[in-house]
Amino acid sequence: MERIGGSRVFFQKDNQLYRRCAKCQKIKPAEAFYKNSGMPGGISGYCRPCTSKYQEEYRKNKPSLKTYYQEWYQSNKQILQAERHKKRESNQMLKILQDRAWLEFNKALRKGLVGGPPLLCQLCRDIDKIGTKYESHHPNYNEPLRVIWVCKSCHRRVHREGTQDYA
Ligand SMILES: [Zn+2]
Ligand SMILES: [Zn+2]
Ligand SMILES: [Zn+2]
């Protein structure tokens, strides 16, 4: 058994590569190590038994993702619940405002106080949309009589992008 290039880790005997395990310090033939192309000699630094022991300990000591999440959730529970509650409340408020504006606008529409849908969608002005049903959209729910008439897809987009001002 002789050192390779004076190395204290790699050895050779009968053209066979040996290395010292970085964990148990025993010198073992290359086959006793897992292949690892990123490591010198193309084998891992720990021998196979040491690698398995290491992995087992790691598994045991590392909290699972689920535990981690549960702990995180427990410590943030109150904040999360308060946030969800606030969001639900503001969504409900918005829905009420939306319904009220819509009702009022439709009342005005029936009375002929406001105009109905124009020929073109007021956002995309796509001539291919002529003849399809336009929907009234309130840029501001506090101004129930001010709407824009938009095609279905523009209406969906405008709500998704949240470009309305609800002030
Ligand atoms: Zn070892
Ligand atoms: Zn449109
Ligand atoms: Zn709308």
Which ligand has an atom closest to residue 95 CA? 3
User: 80 and 141 share a domain?
Assistant: yes
- Percent residues over pLDDT 70 in the chain: 96
pLDDT of residue 164: 56
The boundaries of the domain holding residue 24 are 2-60
- Counted domains in the chain: 2
User: 71 and 152 share a domain?
Assistant: yes
User: 54 and 113 share a domain?
Assistant: no
pLDDT of residue 167: 37
Residue 167 lies in a domain: no
Q: What does pTM read for this prediction?
A: 0.48
- Percent residues over pLDDT 90 in the chain: 50
Cα of 143 to ligand 1 centre, how many Å?
76
3-state secondary structure of 46: strand
Which ligand has an atom closest to residue 122 CA? 2
Q: Which helix (H) or strand (E) holds 150?
A: strand 148-150
Q: Is the model's pLDDT at 43 over the cut of 90?
A: yes
pLDDT of residue 141: 86
User: 51 and 102 share a domain?
Assistant: no
Last residue of a domain, one of 60, 88, 109: 60
Contacts of 49 (CB under 8 A, 6+ apart): 24
